[in-house]
Amino acid sequence: MSIIIENIHKSFGEAHVLKGIDFTFKHREMNMILGGSGGGKTVLLKTMVGLLPPDKGRVLYDGQDFWALDVRAQRALRTQIGMLFQGSALFDSMTVEENVAFPMQMLTNAHKGEIADRVSYCLERVNLPGKHKLFPSELSGGMKKRVGIARAIVLQPRYLFCDEPNSGLDPQTAKVIDELLVELTYEHEMTTIIISHDINSVLNIADHILFLYQGKKEWEGSRQQLRETDNIPLKTFLRTSGLIT
């Protein structure tokens, strides 16, 4: 149930964004990816969920290389993946409720009542009760994020990917979301991978941290180790984030 990436390379034209990354994203843990803006975090996530083929390297889900599977097996694996996009990527022709219900309607045989219950439950978990009938254009950025999370977890995925779940949220909601992600990870035994700029959530919930720097894995470790690190780029990154002095 862990995800292992091996030697992932990705370039766009001349720009060599990922230069050979190895990492193990552990099962039942909060895996966090840190790194500067434009450092390739989103690109790395997209190579893992099957949106951008890496130029080189493997993405192993339980030992199976995603990019070596045939289309059918890839689809089957994808139904176990939940993803929150950096820009939420809600379907703007659908209401909040329809967005969250969509994966269930498309991919399961659940009937209306079951779907409605599950949707209400998920929206409550992300602290958005009573917004069922609104359209994405009527939501704030942070509310969209939360609907995106609700949609990502509606099918109880085994692998949850979140691209900056906290950006644009007030500290209190950010904390609620962090706690939700932790609870879900342990309750449903998920492998959770989070990209975050929010240093508070890194210090509060990260079990296993990957720090990307100049297209490479500069550092990895736990949040305790993060506090005591003497890695210079990481310390600089943390210092400019106002975390340590």
Partner 1 sequence: MFLLLHHLGRYFLMLGSLFVAREKVRVYVDGTLRETYQLGVGSLMIVLITSVFIGAVTTVNTAYQLSSALFPPSLIGSIVSTTGIMEFAPTITSLVLAGKVGSNIASQLGTMRVTEQIDALEVMGINSTSYLILPKLLGALIAFPILIIVAAFLQHLGGLVAGEVAGIIPSSVFHQGVMNVYDPFQVQFMLIKSVVFGFLITSIACFQGFYVRGGAFEVGDASKKAVVRGCIAILVSDYVLAQTLL
Binding-site partner at residue 35 among ligand ATP, partner 1, Mg ion, none, CB < 5 to 8 Å by type: ligand ATP
Contact 10, 40 (CB under 8 A): yes
Applying CB under 8 A, among 75, 133, 227, 239 the residue interacting with partner 1 is 75
| Closest separation in Å from C-beta 38 to ligand ATP | 4
Buried b or exposed e, range 131-153, using 16+ CB within 10 angstroms: bbeeebeebeebbbbbbbbbbbb
Which positions from 50 to 89 touch Mg ion by CB under 5 A, shown as an x/- string?
------------------------------------x---
Q: How far apart are CA 25 and CA 15, in angstroms?
A: 26
Nearer to partner 1, 83 or 238 (CB): 83
Subset of residues 30 to 49 that bind partner 1, contact rule: CB under 8 A: 46, 49
Q: Does 92 bind partner 1 (CB under 8 A)?
A: yes
Q: How far is CA 150 from CA 58, 192, 193, in A?
A: 29, 15, 16
**Which whole-number Å values give the CA distances from 124 to 2, 18, 145, 151, in the listed order?**
29, 38, 14, 12
**Window 129-188: residues binding partner 1 (CB under 8 A):** none
Tell me which of 42, 166, 185, 192 binds Mg ion, using CB under 5 A: 42
Among 38, 53, 87, 129, binds partner 1 (CB under 8 A): 87
Angle between helices 96-107 and 141-153 (to 10 degrees): 20
Would you count residue 51 as binding partner 1 (CB under 8 A)?
yes
For the chain, the farthest-separated pair of C-alpha atoms sits apart, in whole angstroms, at: 55
Token output for 1: 């149930």
Q: Which is nearer to partner 1, 76 or 244 (CB)?
A: 76
Rounded to the nearest whole angstrom, what is the least distance from the CB of residue 53 to partner 1 in the complex? 12
Residue number, 35 or 157, with CB nearest to Mg ion: 35
Q: What is the DSSP string of 201-234?
A: HHHHH-SEEEEEETTEEEEEE-HHHHHT---HHH
Q: Is 31 among the residues that bind Mg ion (CB under 5 A)?
A: no
When the beta carbons of 42 and 166 are compared against Mg ion, the nearer one is 42
Type and span of the H or E element at 103: helix 96-107
Total number of residues shown for the chain: 245
Q: Rule CB under 5 A: which residues touch Mg ion?
A: 42, 86
Q: Rule CB under 8 A: which residues touch partner 1?
A: 46, 49-51, 71, 74-79, 81, 83, 85, 87, 89-92, 102-103, 106-107
